[in-house]
Structure 1
Amino acid sequence: MFGAQDDAHDLIQMPLGTAEGKGVRALNWRLFPVFHADHFGLFALVLDDACNRYDTDMVWDIQSAGERDELVDQDRLIEKLEKANNQLAQSEKLAAIGQLAAGVAHEINNPIGYVSSNLKTLAGYVQDLLRIIDAVDEAADIEALQQLKRALEYDYIRGDIKSLINESEDGLERVKKIITALKDFSHIDEEEFRFADLHHGIDTTLNVVQSELKYKADIVKEYGELPEVECILSQINQVVMNLLINAAHSIEEFGTINLRTGNEGEWVWFEIEDTGKGIDPKLLNRIYEPFFTTKPVGKGTGLGLALSYNIVQKHHGRIKVFSEVGKGTRFCIWLPIRQPVKLNSMTDNEMNE
């Protein structure tokens, strides 16, 4: 028997009635040449009932519809996960700010306290100065006026007023600095990548967490030259804050926290190193797990490093940790200067090149 021919004329559609007389059934038929042993030719007729076949177009439609439904479900799930992650990030940020609130209040109350005290002292000085001024018109002679000035300690008042005003200005500047840092730090709704000064972000965060750090460590800054970096600065500030607070909590008495920055090619990096107790090597592979923490109850949420890791991943960066028990820990974060171009933002011509 010869194999079936694939030419178009070998495949013929022929309508035949059904056995039940219920309409027309389309049949395909083929003739195959067969040569008998006595060398005379025969033909074999093969009929193919096409009606019993699956409608392939329908199958593909069903499959495509199923795939579309599956993709829609995946998109919805991804959207829900993204929203949950954003809410978790904001919750962690607010929780961290809540932990700092008492310290920040203390930082603000200190300068406000002595500014208020200075104003009361200045109010007394003003009254004394007004008495001297009023005495100019009433004094019988210059000697009486000089005697009043000596009695009210005019020379001391004159010197102390200058000190009180300078001290009050410094206090108000401290309050202004803290409030500005909080304002810059708490851009919760910021979600767009912009070019920003990374050093400004780090310094802003240092001002916010100063109350947590100043009694635990000396801050040593070793800044390199950095270009502006395309990032969501408020989120990078949150990473810096989480690492600084962790560094402070790891120091049992008093130590040092080093902040370093640098630039290599198309990348910038910053690292935070402490002289704390370090991390057990057995726990290093778990530090980015949500809700995992080695801190005492009430000291941390266990979300700081997990969210920091997610933020760095969102910025197409990487985070590395180096730690030795008893000597300290160093976290190093690398960020691209410019974010990768998304494929959906490319033109058709660019994609075809």
Structure 2
Amino acid sequence: MEGRIKDYTTTVLILESITDGVFILNSDGRIEYANKSSLDLLGAEFDEVKGKFIDEFLVDSTELNRPGVSEDEEECPSLLEKLRNGIFRNIECYLVNKQNVTPVLVTFNPIKSKKGEVEYIIVIVNDISDIKAMEKELKKSQVIAVSRDRLRALGELTVGLIHQISHPLNAMHLRLDMLKSRLKEKGKISTDKLLPCIKDIDNMINKMVNIINSMRLFAQQTEDNVLEIVNIQEVIENVVSMFMYELKNLDIELIVEHRKDIPYILANPLLIEQVLINLVSNARDAFIYNPKKREKDRRIKIRTGVNPGKWVEIYVEDNAGGIDRSVLDRIWEPFFTTKEIDRNSGIGLTMCKNIIDSLGGNIKVGVRDGEGTIFKVILPIEQKSETQELRNLIEIFHRG
């Protein structure tokens, strides 16, 4: 008997010295023991948790952020339900008590009797607050990098914007001069001659409004990945309007091939726009800085594709000679660039990949030797459950 008590005492001392939180539950999921680390994380005394269900303190990360469940909505499975379904390890949860909310990684270890029945459940809780804080800081730094990219791109596109607006303004000025001249000469103008001029001026005003709206949308900053219904065709048109004048001056033809069956998707349009701007900018620079650049028949093409019910595809391709295959595996690395150091920070493609990953998609690159480069962006049509999203990603990687 003394030996057993000594064994128990040693076991408790060991459990109390462990830096991870440890709970011992009975078969019903009620707490029978909690070590010092777990109580510190909860900010509670043992008497406050003894005999209570673990679900009162451990909340699934998907449940904590839910605004509430309606009567018609299916309840999320509890942690114990997950345990019964065979999910034992590395479950991301929150340890909650009063004002204390701590992100944790949880492992369940059921202790069974000789008959195979669960007698006790050992729950090990690992505090991941530091990891979550680092992830948040990383996200902030990525947002700042996106913002800097946007500001730099805005500066580069300002001249193009001025030229795009100056053309319709000059045309309007000519139309108005013509109307004033006719008024001076004849004192009045027939409706048949006046209406076409008014229509032309109205079209030019609409064109300037569209140009300005495209730039305004691009300039908006967004820190959170806010999802909304997105028309991919409109996003592409916004990007095209930003580059149209600049590429024309560089004698680069910008071709857009739209498919009529492209569905709307659930995503963040500004982030998708940022990716396409980076890809078109890279294609443009390939013509300018590629030592083997071609002088004629220079093309950048944007086209779309679809896998019905699953994802949409956006292709950005050029005929600027292509990327050297020896560096293809490195183009996603931060600060890697094939351009002159003072021309590029080397974070554009890294940021593109991070953005597309955050939207649950994928981005790939291909090279046609001596011809050009093609980037393929794959985006899910809607945000699904983690299981379905994983299946989609597996299919994307195998078929992409």
Is this a same-fold pair by TM over 0.5? yes
Which whole-Å CA distance do the structure 2 matches of 1:247 and 1:228 have between them? Answer: 26
| Higher mean C-alpha displacement, 334-343 vs 73-82 | 334-343
Judged with a 3 Å threshold, the aligned counterparts in structure 2 of structure 1 residues 207 and 56 are, in CA distance, closer, same or farther, namely same
Q: Does 1:200 align with 2:243?
A: no
Gaps of 5+ in 1: 1-10, 12-27, 31-46, 134-153, 344-353
1:272 counterpart (316, 321, 342): 316
Alignment of 1:1-353 (within 5 A): 11=1, 28=2, 55-60=13-18, 61=35, 64=38, 71-130=128-187, 165=198, 167-189=200-222, 191-215=225-249, 216-224=251-259, 225-251=261-287, 252=293, 253-254=295-296, 255-265=298-308, 266-296=310-340, 299-341=343-385
Q: Report the count of equivalent residues.
A: 277
User: Using the alignment, how far apart are the partners of 2:348 and 2:7 within structure 1?
Assistant: 67
Which amino acid counterpart does residue 229 of structure 1 have in structure 2? I
Counterpart code for 2:332: Y
> Percentage identity across aligned positions?
26
Partners of 1:179 and 1:50 in 2: how far apart? 75
Q: Residues 212 and 248 of structure 1 are in contact (CA less than 8 Å); yes or no, is this contact kept in structure 2?
A: no
- Residue type of the partner of 1:249? D
Structure 1 Cα separation of the partners of residues 324 and 10 of structure 2: 68
Query: Contact 1:322/1:331 (CA < 8 Å) preserved in 2?
Result: yes
Greater RCO between the two (CA within 8 Å, min separation 6)?
1
CA contact (8 A) 2:365 2:374 kept: yes
Q: Distance in 1 between matches of 2:166 and 2:338?
A: 32
* Alpha-carbon distance in structure 2 between the residues aligned to 1:50 and 1:219: 76
Go from structure 1 to structure 2 and tell me whether the alpha carbon gap of 1:183 and 1:333 turns closer, same or farther (over 3 Å shift): same
Aligned pair in 2 of structure 1 residues 198, 58: CA closer, same or farther (>3 Å)?
Answer: same
CA apart distance, 1:85: 1.1
Q: Is the 8 A contact 1:258 1:272 kept in 2?
A: yes
TM superposition score normalised by structure 1? 0.68
Query: Is the 8 Å Cα contact of residues 271 and 332 (structure 1) preserved in structure 2?
Result: yes
What secondary structure is seen at the aligned counterpart in 2 of 1:334?
A: strand
Displacement of 1:181: 1.9
TM-score (norm: length of structure 2): 0.61
- Change over 3 Å in CA distance of 1:170–1:62 after alignment to 2: same
Report deviation, 1:229. 0.8
Q: 1:112 is aligned with what amino acid?
A: L
Superposed displacement of residue 101, structure 1: 1.2
8 Å CA contact 1:186, 1:234 repeated in 2? no
Deviations 1:166-222 (A, max 9, x none): 543443232122112223434422631122111111112111221232233223333
Shift of the alpha carbon at 1:298? 5.0
Larger Rg over CA atoms = 1
Question: Separation in 1 of the partners of 2:364 and 2:329?
Answer: 11
CA distance in 2, matches of 1:90, 1:126: 51
